[in-house]
Amino acid sequence: MNREYESLICLCLTGETIEENQEYLRRYRNCIDLVELRLDLLSDSELDRLRGNPGRLGEMLTGVQRLVTCRRLADGGAWSGDERERCRVLGDVLDGPPDWIDLEDDLSDELEIAARERGVGIVRSIHCLDSPPADVPGILDRLSRGGALAKLAVAVSGTDDVRRLVESVAQRAPGTHIVLGMGEYGLMTRLLARRIGSAWTYTSAHGAVQAAPGQVDPRTLVERYGFRRIGPDTALFGVVGDPIAHSRSPEYHNARFQRDNLDAVYLPFRVDDLRPFMSIAHTLPLHGMSVTVPHKSAAAKLADHTDDAVRETGACNTLIREHDSYLGTNTDVPGFLQPLTPYLDAVDGATIVGAGGAARAIAYALVTRGMDVLIVNRTVSRAEALASDMNRAAERIASTQAGVRPGRARAGAIPNSRSDIAGFGSLIVQTTSCGMEPNDECDPIPEYRFDGSEVVYDIVYTPATTTLLERAERAGCRVISGALMFEQQAAVQYDLFRRAYWSFRRSRDNGTRSYDGVRRDIGRAPWSRQSEG
Ligand code: NAP
């Protein structure tokens, strides 16, 4: 993908008056390059004033390029009036003159000719409010007739729609189009405008009417998502999940990349289906990914190579790019064990509450350390499946590693009393999402009464102290917060990302494709032995 293009940041002005819009401009002037004045959102009296004196455009919106448009209802705008009147409005404002005018594909060439005579740049646009059209490249070619900037804005309902958009522009000259997916799944097309060759990305002022679904405000784009830092050589990383807005990973990894002065950016990707996202990851490319709910088992299947931890648990939370393939590992395993280390001598059996992706990594971590575990879950059949997977893993380990005695796993229902977990009560590990914001009142073992002897480890990290941990602490238990596990697993993951970054840089600088260091590093990790997968 050709990436030698500087994408601009456009602020959509959605106020009813020019004064209101001036205020939005003042607020964001230092982080934007152009504004789009939405004529369809101006009040009638303000529109009349502007038509009477189009010079107001340049007098009041200063210091940035100015784009004007008058969006119809059918295109997601607010103009419900007569079409000829809309053309007259656009024609009147041309005398401003603006720097750019956005004309829909079906508008006659008259306005375009008038705009060109005044030196105004032309954007030709199509807005698809249901699904991506079949022939995106063909549509972009048609829109760019006569040298216009082609804009295609599409409502996307999932990751496969986004894949189609991203792949459609992979071979196009950058800066000749703007392609964006509207809605949360499409956020990546806005954040990675430069990578997909879009001439600019659209934003809305915080608290203002959003010009289109999925827009963020310019400051968030620049400060949280590092939009200006994404250059042609910037290594991209990210976290994939659904939902993803709560993830603390972007904050953590971006801070570490910046502290280490690496040309790398880490972004959140809301993904409903990992398979098409892997295709996007190859196209961009992404050099590393954190994988979270609900994609850990899909990641284990889609990784090109996996280590023991992933193979035995069927859960992968980290993908690292090597050549054109992805290596899968699971940093939840060492991340979970590290905070537990000071307590390991005091515990002789564990109850794991939950049987999802995180429980798999935790059961594997404990069983491979020789601890017997009882897995209890709301859906008991899932606990049973996990216990039998762990027992199979234990047998494999025992038969291949001389002198190693892995633990055994059993399954059961959510306990009501200490006798329900007899022999497994010295350590209770809570791995369900019950207790995580916004369900922070939820207690996954409400009937169970602590006697104060238990070590209680809740891996939920938002909030850092859950309802369950509070209750355990009050009963005198020693408690471990999921925030510690998060920090540890993220630190291990960051180390892998940093190594992937340097391997990529070395291979690029030397003109070689030697990524061997990354595979060697993953292979060396104590929890990990890699294999083809
Ligand atoms: P997952 O694969 O979706 O599994 C969810 C588990 O929670 C299942 O056992 C499910 O039971 C159970 N569950 C969900 N809602 C419940 C409820 N209302 N009552 C009782 N059980 C409920 O998720 P995951 O990947 O294992 O992640 C689980 C949690 O761990 C999340 O909150 C995640 O943020 C956290 N986590 C933290 C870290 C860290 O670093 N601290 C790392 C990984 C995960 P059923 O099988 O009956 O549906």
User: So what's the pLDDT on residue 232?
Assistant: 85
Cα-only R_g, the chain:
27
Q: pLDDT tens, 419-478?
A: 999 999 999 999 999 999 999 999 999 999 999 999 999 999 999 999 999 999 999 999
CB 253 within 8 A of CB 497: yes
What pLDDT score was predicted for residue 329?
Answer: 97
SS3 for 350?
strand
Q: What CA dihedral angle connects 105, 110, 115 and 116, to 10 degrees? A: 90
| Ligand 1 contact via 222 beta carbon (within 6 Å) | no
Ligand 1 neighbour 435 (Cβ under 6 A): no
pLDDT for res 517: 47
195 contacts 3 by C-beta, under 8 angstroms = yes
Read off the pLDDT of residues 95-107 as tens digits, 9 standing for 90 and up.
999 999 999 999 9
Q: Is the beta carbon of 481 within 6 A of some atom in ligand 1? A: no
Cβ(521)–Cβ(496) under 8 Å? yes
Distances (CA, A) of 31 to 15, 42, 339: 19, 24, 41
pLDDT of 205 higher than 70? yes
Distance (Å, whole) CA 303 – CA 329? 9
Rounded Cα–Cα distance for residues 193 and 180 (Å): 8
373-376 and 350-353 beta bridge pairing:
parallel
**Tens digits of residue pLDDT in 394-427:** 999 999 988 889 999 999 999 999 999 999 999 9
The average pLDDT across 5-16 equals 93
Taking residues 24-41, what's their average pLDDT? 97
Average pLDDT over residues 125-141: 94
List the chain domain ranges: 8-232, 233-533
| 152: enclosing H helix or E strand | strand 149-155
pLDDT at 3: 42
Percent of the chain with pLDDT over 90: 87
Residue 237: is its pLDDT beyond 90? yes
> Residue 69 is inside which H or E element, if any?
strand 65-69
Model confidence band, residue 323 (pLDDT cutoffs 50, 70, 90) = confident
**pLDDT tier for residue 512 given thresholds of 50, 70 and 90:** low
How confident is the model over 246-265, as a mean pLDDT? 94
Q: Which atom of ligand 1 sits closest to the CA of residue 378?
A: 47
The pairing of beta strand 305-307 with beta strand 530-532: antiparallel
Helix (H) or strand (E) holding 10: strand 8-13
What average pLDDT does this structure show over 130-156?
95
Ligand 1 atom with least separation from CA of 354: 9
Residue to substitute in 433, 465, 487 for testing ligand 1 pocket (most ligand atoms within 8 angstroms of CB): 433
The answer to whether the CB of 302 falls within 8 A of the CB of 278 is yes
Q: Does residue 385 register a pLDDT over 60?
A: yes
User: Could you tell me the pLDDT band of residue 533, with boundaries at 50, 70 and 90?
Assistant: very low
Instruction: For ligand 1, say whether the CB of 491 is within 6 Å of any of its atoms.
Output: no
DSSP secondary structure string, 420-456?
GGTTS-SEEEE-SSTTSTT-TT--SSTT----S--EE
Find out whether 508 and 287 touch, Cβ atoms under 8 Å: no
For residue 425 and ligand 1, the question of a CB distance below 6 A is answered with no
pLDDT of 334 reads 96
Tell whether the model's pLDDT for residue 141 goes beyond 50. yes
More confident residue, 530 or 204: 204
Confidence of residue 519 (pLDDT cuts 50, 70, 90): low
Structure tokens at 34: 């152009």
- Express each pLDDT in 328-375 by its tens digit: 999 999 999 999 999 998 899 999 999 998 999 999 999 999 999 999
Q: Is the pLDDT of residue 1 over 50?
A: no
Name the band, by pLDDT with cuts 50, 70 and 90, for residue 210. Answer: confident
Query: What does 303-341 look like in DSSP terms, one character per residue?
Result: -SEEEHHHHHHS---EEEEETTEEEEE-THHHHHHHHHG
233-533 is a CATH 3.40.50.720 domain: yes
Q: Nearest Cα to 451, choosing from 474, 485, 423?
A: 474
Contact indicator for 219, 245 with CB cutoff of 8 Å: no
CATH fold of 8-232: TIM Barrel (3.20.20)
8-232 matches 233-533 in fold:
no
Question: How many CB atoms are located within 10 Å of the residue 90 CB?
Answer: 21
CA–CA separation, 39 vs 295, rounded Å? 43
- Write out the two tokens for 309: 């931890």
Q: Calculate mean pLDDT across residues 231-253.
A: 93
DSSP-derived secondary structure for 203-241: EE-TTSPPSSTT---HHIIIIIT-GGG--TTPEEEEEEE
In order of 81, 334, 404, 500, the CA distances from 527 in angstroms are: 65, 7, 14, 19
To the query of whether residue 296 is one of the catalytic residues in this protein, the response is yes
pTM for the model: 0.89
pLDDT of residue 143: 97
CA-closest residue to ligand 1 atom 4:
356
